[in-house]
Chain A
Amino acid sequence: MRYLYVITILALFLSLAKDRRKTLRAVKIAFKRFANILPAFLIMLIFVSVVLFLVPDRLISAYLGSSNKFVGVGLGLFFGSITLMPGFIVFPLCSILLKKGVPYMVLSAFTTTLMMVGVLTYPIEKEYFGTKVTIIRNLVSFLIAVIVALATGIFFGELF
């Protein structure tokens, strides 16, 4: 995260040194783009805050940990698709579940959909890509996550 700030500040200074007018235009573009997409972000944040309340971490780990592996994969796919979690929460959580005996393929189903399928980022994606393409892209991502989970099951010897 710190790198991001360093890079941004360096880039801004470099740009300022080279051409003030262009830099000003860049900042203007940044503001305009940000302002345009802000309402969509607001809607997404509202969805996130409600969904995280309805589906908290403990609930997810309880469900993923207490079922047979195929139901587990299904639940992993479901929870991963509808929630949003930063990596520093997800992976420690998964490692605890792993120690409790949850199969790798269940964790793979959960983490891969978490990364790739964005039900909660839908308001933002839709602003750029339109409803139809957003739905197609997310469905394709979901299918890829299913394949990844199955492949994980095969490679870890959990399927056969």
Chain B
Amino acid sequence: MSRNKMVKIAGIVAYFFFILFSFMTGFDPGKQIAQNFIDFSLDMFKILPCAFLLIGLFEVWVKKETVEKHFGQESGIKGYIWALLLASTTVGGLYVAFPVAYSLYNKGAKLSIIFTYISSSAVCRIPMTIFEASFLGIKFSVIRLWVSLPLVIMSSIILGNYLTKKGYKLMEGNS
């Protein structure tokens, strides 16, 4: 076991001891932290099983050639449009986008499209954008999308091409 891993496990154990201790002694900050933990876990675990099942189905049913054609080296501008469309229908947020991106990458999507997908799934998810516009006005949302999306695509192309040239590979347990 690496040192890094041991530190992580020690941290997690310490955290849960702290929570347990807080409940035993009635230490309010600890109880609130536990409440936050539960709230956020529930929120995420409502989405994650579905997300991973869909990823599993994607892995077995979608052919590598299909992904390569639409998201790969030869995909051109259309690839970025597909990435934006896929991002706008992604649920949850970044934490769902990462495993989806990893699957796409394994099936032959190129890095610049992967980065476009991730960053745009942060800014242009449809339900969120509608919600935003209803509270802050359409003008606010339109400015945000029109300014951020071109920058997202440009920076993704630069970063993707740079990393591809350096032989960078995406993998589970990359750290």
Contacts and interface: CB of A to CB of B under 8 A. Distances in A.
Contacts of B46: 1
A159 interface: no
Given A46-B37, A104-B140, A115-B122, A87 B128 contact: yes
Contacts of B148: 112, 116, 144-145, 148
Interface residues of B, number: 67
Contact of A124 (B43, B95, B127, B136): B95
B138 interface: no
A137 B59 CA distance: 26
Interface string B50-78: 11111111011100000000000000000
Interface stretch (A59-67, A70-78, A88-96): A88-96
Interface string B122-149: 1100011001101110011001100110
B119 to A, nearest CB: 6
Where chain A touches its partner, the secondary structure class is helix
Given A29-B60, A45-B37, A128-B101, A39 B135 contact: no
Contacts, number: 197
B14 to A, nearest CB: 10
A35 B61 CA distance: 21
Contact of A45 (B44, B139, B163): B44
A37 B48 CA distance: 11
A5 B43 CA distance: 14
Contacts of B32: 53
Which are the 9 A-B pairs with shortest beta-carbon distances? A30-B56, A26-B56, A49-B37, A49-B36, A130-B174, A91-B135, A29-B56, A95-B135, A8-B50
21 contacts: A1-B47, A1-B91, A4-B47, A12-B53, A15-B57, A26-B59, A28-B56, A29-B60, A30-B53, A33-B172, A45-B40, A49-B40, A50-B33, A52-B40, A107-B136, A108-B140, A116-B148, A128-B172, A136-B159, A137-B119, A141-B119
Interface of A: 1, 4-5, 7-8, 11-12, 15, 22-23, 25-31, 33-34, 36-37, 39, 41-46, 48-50, 52-53, 84, 86-88, 91-92, 94-95, 98, 104, 107-108, 111-112, 115-116, 118, 121, 124-131, 133, 136-137, 140-141, 144-145, 147-148, 151-152, 155-156
